[in-house]
Amino acid sequence: MQIIRTIVWVLILFGIMTFSFFNWDTVEVNLWENLVLETKVPVLVIVAFLLGIVPMWLYHRSVKWSLGRRIRSLEASIKSTALAHRAETPAPTAAAPVDKAVDEAANPEDILSPTPPSTGDNPA
């Protein structure tokens, strides 16, 4: 993502430099009736660009900062809740004694086996 952002900024810089090279003319800007500003066209374009982008960039940074603070506080809350829950769980108790019947070996007669189908019981 950083490379894309760098490429975009390089393209913007190249565009501004090209524009500045071909439009190096002096212009008069009437700010008020008695106040006139003589400047070059590229300076006027760069100032207008900065006046448009700086407030939005500052707004973006402030929102990003506040959301980062909110995320950190929620993560801390979840962590403290998880630690409190871990402390509340009881320690495992000793294993229950094993039933003797389970320990004994299975009798071969107890094993279930399928019965073969009978041929003479069917009246069909």
pLDDT on residue 7 = 97
What whole-number distance in Å separates Cα of residue 108 and Cα of residue 46? 94
Per-residue pLDDT band at 115 (split at 50, 70, 90): low
Structural domain count, the chain = 1
Instruction: Look at residue 104 and tell me if it is in a domain.
Output: no
What whole-number distance in Å separates Cα of residue 44 and Cα of residue 37? 10
Instruction: Look at residue 120 and tell me if it is in a domain.
Output: no
Closest CA to 26 of 36, 17, 38, 37: 38
What whole-number distance in Å separates Cα of residue 26 and Cα of residue 5? 33
> How do residues 74-111 score in pLDDT, each as one tens digit?
999 999 998 888 877 666 666 555 555 554 555 656 55
Instruction: Look at residue 110 and tell me if it is in a domain.
Output: no
Q: What are phi and psi of 66, to 5 degrees?
A: -65, -40
pLDDT on residue 84 = 83
Residue type for 84, please?
Answer: A
Is the pLDDT at 48 greater than 80? The verdict is yes
